[in-house]
Amino acid sequence: MAITKVWIEEGCIVCNACETTCPEVFHVTEDTCMILPDVRQDGKETENREEQSALKADFQEELADQIEEAAEGCPVEVIKYE
């Protein structure tokens, strides 16, 4: 299954589990987790909560399993995708 979008809801506890699981997509900062610009169509580095930028086509299937694993491993369940 391809994942077209991924974003971080409010409440990230910066545990670093997502970045450990999928460093190609997630970057944990002091306060939250960002979706890296290299995988986003808009090229921005934010939580992607408001923008809802799609993932670049090359990454939608390639990283789907890792994104799902990161979401399942998030202790506060703030990683969302479609």
**Distance from C-alpha of 13 to C-alpha of 56, rounded to nearest angstrom:** 27
What pLDDT, in 10s, does the model give residues 20-59? 999 999 999 999 999 999 999 999 999 999 999 999 999 9
pTM (predicted TM-score): 0.96
Instruction: Please give the DSSP secondary-structure letter assigned to residue 53.
Output: P
Task: List domains and CATH numbers for the chain.
Answer: 6-81 (3.30.70.20)
**What is the residue-averaged pLDDT of the chain?**
98
Contacts of 48 (CB under 8 A, 6+ apart): 5, 6, 7, 8, 35, 40
Strand partners, 34: 27
